[in-house]
Amino acid sequence: MMPDDSHIHNIAGSILRNYNYLFPSTYPDIPLNLNMLKEAMAETGFFLEEEKIPEFMEDIELQLAAMVPLNWNNYGTIAILLNKAHPEEDLIAISLQRITELVRELPNFNDAAVPDEDTLDSIIYTWISLTDEYPGFTEDEAWS
Q: Are residues 63 and 84 in the same domain?
A: no
Q: Are residues 138 and 82 in the same domain?
A: yes
| End-of-domain residue from the set 20, 40, 67 | 67
Q: Are residues 26 and 59 in the same domain?
A: yes
CB atoms near residue 75 (< 10 Å) = 25
137-141, Cβ contacts within 8 angstroms, sequence gap of 24 or more: none
Q: Are residues 62 and 100 in the same domain?
A: no
Cis-peptide into 3, omega within 30 deg: no
Residue 24 to residue 21: CA distance in whole angstroms: 8
Q: Residue 132 has what pLDDT?
A: 65
Residue 94 to residue 33: CA distance in whole angstroms: 33
Instruction: State which residues form the domain around 113.
Output: 75-142
Cut 0.95: pTM above it: no
Chain centroid to Cα 92, Å, comes to 20
Per-residue pLDDT tens for 88-133?
999 999 999 999 999 999 999 999 999 999 999 999 999 999 886 5
| End-of-domain residue from the set 19, 48, 67 | 67
Q: How many domains does the chain have?
A: 2
Buried b (16+ CB within 10 A) or exposed e, 77-107: bbbbbbbeeeeebebeebeeeebbebbeebe
